[in-house]
Amino acid sequence: MAGNKGSGRPNTINIHPEKKTIIKQIVLGEHGMPGGMSKAAVARRIGLSPETITRYRKDHITEEMVRAILADARIEKVEADTEILNDERMDVARTYESLARRVERLITKAEDNEDDGFALAAMEGLRKVLRDIATMHGKMATDLSVSVTLSESPEWVTLKQIIRDVCDEVPEAREPFLRRMRHHVLSVSQESGDAI
């Protein structure tokens, strides 16, 4: 059983209710990313020794897990930034629309008071505001969206490892597999650029 290093006890982190959070904090902390913590800080937080955290990192957190956590963190950041930009765009749109309503009220008031000169000036102002609104909506017609490539998904990272393992186990499968991949213009190369 994983985590039972001779003592017969399950690993403390593996049975911890915050296991996923702990692993994420360790990985993000190693890479200096938001949401991460140093191993010592994680150890203090959950009441273990820093050596236990270091051992856990070495023995239980695979490179596939690291890649998946880092990919998710990058995607979360992009999504958060996109949401902020979309909110700011909506604030700008609301401001312009509020301004247009105010100018319309001024025009109505000027017309009610038979102040044609002021009404004409206000109409010119409204025309400029409406032009700005149209320009802004044209430039911001669609919400920003997040695009994620398959190569960043945890499932693809795992699938590539499975393919490598199978090709190592059955070497004669490597050549037909790579031929079919080339035919479909797909890549399962490692980050270093070496084929599987």
Are 77 and 146 in contact, with CB atoms under 8 Å apart? no
pLDDT score recorded for residue 90: 73
**pLDDT of 4 higher than 50:** no
pLDDT tens digits, 147-191: 666 666 777 777 788 888 888 888 888 888 888 877 776 655 544
Picking from 18, 151, 145, 154, the residue whose alpha carbon sits closest to that of residue 73 is 154
Q: What is the pLDDT of residues 85-104, one digit of tens each?
A: 777 777 767 777 777 777 77
On whether the CB atoms of residues 55 and 61 are closer than 8 A, the answer is: no
The structure's pTM equals: 0.43
Tokens read off for 155: 């499932």
Burial of 193 (0-12, 13-18, 19+ CB in 10 A): exposed
Q: Please state the rounded mean pLDDT for residues 106-127.
A: 77
